[in-house]
């Protein structure tokens, strides 16, 4: 992806989020220079990988295969492993009309996926084989706003604004906006995008970036290189 495209997506996403009454935290609007100047006080942001995350999964076709995310808060894996402390995370996502977030599952993370506003959220679901791998013949059960719902393998569940689904580790899922763009809330256990994503197809989690302009704001994938 071109950095200029990423800058434009950030501006559009901010306006879309605000249209539903949500406002991103102050650090979302810091420039790269401001983040560098405040490096000694923002370790919680950097280590938790809070902030902007825009991906085309390394495929170069964002409008068809991609996702916008902003991580608002993220706990510590050490707390999750010991069973106490900050064991939770929260994100805002935008799934554009017919923009696929590809089939994947998580090893550890349980998550509530909530339609916060916009169009219909469509989620395709499969269960797992005994070893956790993808199996197109396996269905399962999820909870939709606290009510158990069985799904057949490959069934697509749809969620209007206000509706949600709870996905457990091992629930294979892909999703997209149906009929328009969707603002999605994600409330989960600790998020680790480096090791906790298992994609059905071998694709990348983060975008390869063509630095055609300077970044308006840093992505979480920029932190290691630009902030250390």
Span 12-41, average pLDDT: 97
**Is the pLDDT at 205 greater than 90, yes or no?**
no
Give the predicted TM-score (pTM) of the model. Answer: 0.95
The closest alpha carbon to 159, from 195, 122, 192, belongs to 122
Domain ranges (residues) in the chain: 3-226
Mean pLDDT of the chain: 96
Task: Please tell me the number of Cα atoms within 13 Å of 119 on its side-chain side.
Answer: 16
**Per residue in 79-135, pLDDT tens?**
888 889 999 999 999 999 999 999 999 999 999 999 999 999 999 999 999 999 999
CB 113 within 8 A of CB 89: no
**Per residue in 44-76, pLDDT tens?**
999 999 999 999 998 999 999 999 999 999 999
Rounded Cα distance between 126 and 148, Å, is 15
Place 225 in a pLDDT band, splitting at 50, 70 and 90: very high
Residue 174: both structure tokens together: 């892909």
Alpha helices (runs of H) in 91-153, residue ranges in sequence order:
none
Q: Does domain 3-226 match CATH 2.60.40.10? A: no
CB 53 within 8 A of CB 221: yes
Name residue 100's beta-bridge partners.
65
Which residues, at least 6 apart from 100, have a Cβ–Cβ distance to it below 8 Å?
Answer: 64, 65, 174, 175, 176
């Amino acid at each position: 992806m071109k950095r200029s495209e990423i800058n434009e997506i950030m501006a559009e996403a901010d306006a879309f989020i605000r249209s539903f009454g949500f406002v991103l935290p102050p650090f979302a609007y810091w420039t790269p220079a401001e983040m560098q100047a405040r490096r000694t006080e923002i370790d919680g942001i950097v280590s938790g990988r809070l902030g902007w995350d825009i991906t085309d999964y390394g495929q170069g076709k964002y409008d068809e295969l991609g996702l916008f995310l902003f991580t608002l808060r993220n706990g510590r894996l050490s707390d999750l492993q010991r069973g106490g402390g900050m064991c939770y995370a929260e994100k805002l996502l935008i799934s554009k009309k017919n923009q696929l977030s590809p089939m994947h599952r998580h090893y550890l993370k349980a998550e509530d996926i909530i339609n916060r506003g916009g169009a219909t959220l469509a989620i395709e679901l499969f269960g797992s084989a005994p070893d956790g791998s993808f199996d197109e013949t396996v269905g399962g059960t999820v909870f939709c706003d606290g009510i158990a719902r069985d799904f057949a393998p490959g069934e697509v569940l749809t969620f209007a604004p206000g509706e949600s689904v709870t996905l457990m580790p091992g629930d294979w899922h892909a999703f997209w906006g149906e009929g328009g763009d969707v603002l999605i809330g994600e409330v989960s256990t600790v998020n680790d995008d480096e090791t906790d994503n298992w994609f059905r197809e071998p694709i990348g989690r983060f975008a390869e970036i063509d630095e055609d302009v300077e970044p308006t704001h840093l992505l979480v994938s920029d932190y290691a290189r630009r902030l250390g």
